[in-house]
Chains A and B, each alone.
Chain A
């Protein structure tokens, strides 16, 4: 009897260890492959040779550059978040015609590499001013950065704010509507209720914008990230580049930590869950105004850049377009393969982080992912290069592995967020019921948990696939020489190539991305339909 009980105790311990082992293995791999390189590069910078010389370089000029970049990022965050509130309301709280179509359409800029839109807007200025005079160009470039960045980040703001709006029980608004008029309900009830989402959107967009360098670089404007990039790639002064980056990391971390609670709880995207019944403001006037606002926004954000790219691509005939296609052709396969691997890895890690956070309150991986997400891509890239550029780690450094690690560091947080939101909607009793019936831990995950949250897993896969496909920030730092990758090909060629060739390449990348988005969203819609039928 006593022996029996000992055996039972042992088997229980093994079981509990099995549960923890997946988490521990993921945690250890994440720390070894991503956190360690970051810590290593910071250590080398602060305790390595040349620190005092580099430290002197952190002068007023650099600080004023950081201030200028912050102002730019603030403008983008402000404009994008305000737009996110307005457009989020139209898309999620009114019955505007074709709203589901608009919801999908408005996401496109988020998945297009920022430099594509930068090329389009530069082309537009070419048409407007007929030639690109340096003074005019310079004068409008700041505005252009804000415009391009806002175009990219408004969809993110809509996603965060819109899903927060749908999570507000309609009774809260209806009870207020019995007492006061709509503007009061909007400003005094709805806006305060979605304040966490508004703050999250603002902080995240600020961080994204201040970390992005391809657009300022394309417009030839010196900002903080282009300075880091110059130090790294032109002067090979890695120590100074990292030291400069530290200021940026500190700024981003302060902002993230101040809003940590809101950011970790904001929904981002709710997939496949019914949630609370949201209030829909179904008035004819509102629907008509909303419809025309959406038409205008879609025209400015998507149609206009595409039209301009098309016109500019064919300004010298078909030749440049064909040339661009031939240049890009070898990179299509590589880009898809990398994006696929990146999406799979980020979804797996995101699932582990989300599952253990929701079910076992284990948040270490979650925190690590938030940290690596907050670190500007350029710094993550430097960290990975510095760490893996060793003979015995060459198999990672010279292959696709280093790019995948960059994707994992950058995008796993997003998949963890999406999966976490969905997991939180699945009652624990679903798993408990299986446990009582003797279903083992792995089988419970495979047969109960994953099927129940599959739409969210697939959504996370699509989103991260598209992010990886268009990623420039990390990829440009770490890609092994000779590897043909779509965004790199365009970015490296655009400085020296004729404008029509650059536009053609941008147009081809755009069409290619749209094609992939259409395929992925079509399959996603089919999955959602199937799940709605089954539920």
Chain B
């Protein structure tokens, strides 16, 4: 069952076409990797789903509800039940770990903020770091804070824009395993953008391969492995 549907999406920056008549669906409670070279439009797909970009054409559905139609955002980003982990993590440097996580809760007028924050910090093993600032923590710990910040608002969809690109292999592996645990605990649908096909083949349920804004192939890992598409074959060989 699909949770997100991109229907005939066309998007461009200035005069450069980023996505061209894209049709793509994402299955519920699955990890879908979007694979492609740099500049192929992977990040734009995430930003469109989140409502941070407005397409020139097409519509986007989340949970069968239209959220973007043409150049109109119908459902605002914060109402889409989405968590977003940015490539640069976007941890607010002037806030402590605690404040980074609590900020969204406060804005939404939630109750028992302190309890909720410490609960998630404990789950991530970061309780002792609550008063520290992001720059005082290691790369791996910063990733954890970014994930915790996204999950504390209990999203149903987690969008991840190559957040682990700067990590060493060991830390990366550790966090990826942790993410699959989270997925089960929070009943999450994860869309993960990367250009690392090995990582995708290992951790994905489904894969979508994009090239120059055009969807080349999407399906299960097995389907992608056996794809006849020239670009997919070239990309997986590389």
When distances are taken between beta carbons in the complex, the residues of chain A under 8 Å from B89 are: 429
Q: Which stretch, A406-414, A433-441, A489-497, touches the partner chain B?
A: A433-441
- Tell whether A448 is near chain B: CB-to-CB under 8 Å: yes
Q: Is the CB of B133 within 8 A of A438?
A: no
* Residues in B whose Cβ lies below 8 Å from that of A436: 50, 52, 77-78, 82-84
Interface membership of chain B positions 91-104, coded 1 if the CB is closer than 8 angstroms to chain A and 0 otherwise: 01110000000011
Measured between C-beta atoms, what is the minimum distance from B80 to chain A in Å? 8
Instruction: Tell me the complex Cα distance, A239–B79, Å.
Output: 60
**Residues in B neighbouring A435, C-beta threshold 8 A:** 52, 77-78
Query: What residues of chain A lie closer than 8 Å to B78, measured between beta carbons?
Result: 435-439
Q: Which residues 1-18 of A sit at the B interface, judged by CB distance below 8 A?
A: 5, 8-9, 11-12, 15
Task: Indicate whether A134 reaches chain B with its CB closer than 8 angstroms.
Answer: no
Q: How many A-B residue pairs have CB under 8 A?
A: 82
Q: B76: which of A5, A15, A427, A448 is its contact (CB, 8 Å)?
A: A15
Q: A430 contacts which chain B residues (CB < 8 A)?
A: 90, 92
- B94 contacts which of A432, A433, A443, A452 (Cβ < 8 Å)? A452
Q: Give chain A nearest CB distance to B69 CB in angstroms.
A: 8
What is the CA–CA distance of A11 and B79 in the complex, to the nearest angstrom?
13
- With A5-B66, A436-B77 as known contacts, state yes or no: A443 contacts B107, CB within 8 Å: yes
Task: Identify the interface centre among A8, A429, A430, A437: most chain B CB within 10 Å of its CB.
Answer: A437
| A434 touching B103, Cβ below 8 Å | yes
Docked complex Cα distance between A429 and B66 (Å): 25
Whether, in the assembled complex, B17 has its beta carbon less than 8 Å from a beta carbon of chain A, the answer is no
Q: Which of A12, A429, A534, A535 contacts B73, CB < 8 Å?
A: A12
Contact with B along A238-278 (1 / 0, CB 8 A): 00000000000000000000000000000000000000000
**CB of A451 closer than 8 Å to a CB of B:** yes
One of B69, B72, B73, B153 near A437 (C-beta < 8 A): B153
Interface centre among B83, B90, B133, B153, by most chain A C-beta atoms within 10 angstroms, is B90
Give every chain B residue within 8 A of A439 (Cβ-Cβ): 78, 103-104, 107
Q: How far apart sit A14 and B107, CA to CA, in the bound complex (Å)?
A: 20
- Bound-state CA distance A440–B77 (Å) is 11
| Residue among B74, B87, B88, B107 making CB contact with A438, cutoff 8 Å | B107
Mask, B107-136, CB within 8 Å of A = 1, is: 110000000000000000000000001010
Contact among A9, A438, A440, A535 with B72 in the assembled complex (CB-CB below 8 Å): A9
Interface size, chain A (Cβ < 8 Å): 26
B contact residues around A451 at 8 Å (CB): 94
Do A437 and B88 form a contact, CB below 8 Å, given A451-B94, A535-B135? no
* CB of B118 to closest CB in A, whole Å: 18
Known A5-B74, A12-B72, A452-B94: A427·B88 in contact at CB below 8 Å: yes
Contacts of A11 in B (CB 8 A): 76
> How would residues 181 to 224 of chain B score, 1 for a CB under 8 Å from any chain A CB and 0 otherwise?
00000000000000000000000000000000000000000000
Q: Would you call B133 and A437 a contact (CB within 8 A)?
A: no
Indicate the member of A427, A429, A451, A531 with the most B CB atoms within 10 Å. Answer: A429
Question: Which of B50, B72, B133 interacts with A534 by CB under 8 Å?
Answer: B133
Residues 221-243 of A contacting B (Cβ, < 8 Å): none
A429 with B50: CB separation less than 8 A: no
Neighbouring B residues of A438 by C-beta, 8 Å: 78-79, 104, 107-108, 153
Task: For residue A461, give the distance in angstroms from its CB to the closest CB of chain B.
Answer: 18
Nearest-neighbour CB distance to chain B for A317, whole angstroms, equals: 55
- Residue among B50, B72, B93, B94 with most chain A CB within 10 A: B94
Is B75 part of the binding interface, using a Cβ–Cβ cutoff of 8 Å? yes
Is B90's CB under 8 angstroms from A437's CB? no
Q: Report Cα–Cα, A440/B88, bound state, in Å.
A: 22
Contact across chains for B133 and A535 when beta carbons are under 8 A apart: yes
Contact of B84 among A5, A433, A440 (CB under 8 A): A433
**Bound Cα distance from A433 to B74, whole angstroms:** 19
Give Cα distance in the complex from A304 to B82, angstroms. Answer: 65
Cβ distance B64 to chain A, nearest Cβ, rounded Å: 11
Nearest B residue to A447, CB-CB: B103
Q: Mark B3-45, 1 if CB is under 8 A from A, else 0.
A: 0000000000000000000000000000000000000000000
Residue of B nearest to A454 (CB): B94
Contact B94 A427 (CB under 8 A): no
A533 nearest CB neighbor, chain B only: B133
- Which of A9, A429, A440, A443 lies in contact with B87, CB distance below 8 A? A429
- How far is B72's CA from A15's CA once the two chains are assembled, in angstroms? 12
Docked complex: A26-60 residues within 8 A CB-CB of B: none
- How far in angstroms is the closest Cβ of chain A from B27? 22
Residues A429 and B88 in contact in the complex (CB < 8 Å), given A438-B104, A439-B107, A451-B94: yes
Complex Cα distance, B75 from A155, in Å, reads 52
Q: How far is the CB of A78 from chain B (nearest CB, A)?
A: 39
A16 to B, closest residue via Cβ = B73
Q: Which of B69, B74, B87 gathers the greatest number of chain A CB atoms within 10 Å?
A: B74
Task: With CB as the reference atom, state the residue of chain A lying closest to B68.
Answer: A12
Q: Given the complex of chains A and B, what is the CA–CA distance between A338 and B34 in angstroms?
A: 57
Q: Which residues of B contact A434 (CB under 8 A)?
A: 92, 103-104, 107
Bound-state Cα–Cα, A534 to B97, Å: 12
Q: In the bound complex, what is the Cα–Cα distance between A448 and B108 (angstroms)?
A: 16
Question: Which residue on chain B has the smallest CB distance to residue A7?
Answer: B74
Chain A residue, CB-CB nearest to B108: A438
In the complex with contacts A437-B153, A438-B107, A432-B90 CB distance below 8 A = yes
Q: Of all chain B residues, which has the CB nearest A439?
A: B107
Bound together, the chains give a CA A306 to CA B66 distance in angstroms of 72
- A302–B135 alpha-carbon span in the complex (Å): 41
Contacts A437-B153, A534-B93 given: A432-B107 contact, CB under 8 Å? Answer: no
Q: List 22 A-B contacts (CB under 8 A).
A: A12-B73, A427-B88, A429-B86, A429-B89, A429-B90, A430-B90, A432-B86, A433-B90, A435-B52, A436-B50, A436-B78, A436-B83, A437-B103, A437-B153, A438-B104, A438-B107, A438-B153, A439-B78, A439-B104, A443-B107, A534-B93, A535-B135
Other than the known A429-B86, A433-B84, A438-B104, what 17 A-B pairs have Cβ atoms closer than 8 Å? A5-B66, A5-B69, A11-B76, A12-B73, A15-B76, A429-B89, A434-B92, A434-B104, A435-B78, A436-B52, A436-B78, A436-B82, A436-B83, A436-B84, A437-B103, A448-B92, A534-B133
The 10 closest A-B pairs by CB, nearest first: A437-B104, A438-B78, A429-B90, A429-B86, A433-B90, A8-B74, A451-B94, A439-B107, A436-B77, A535-B93
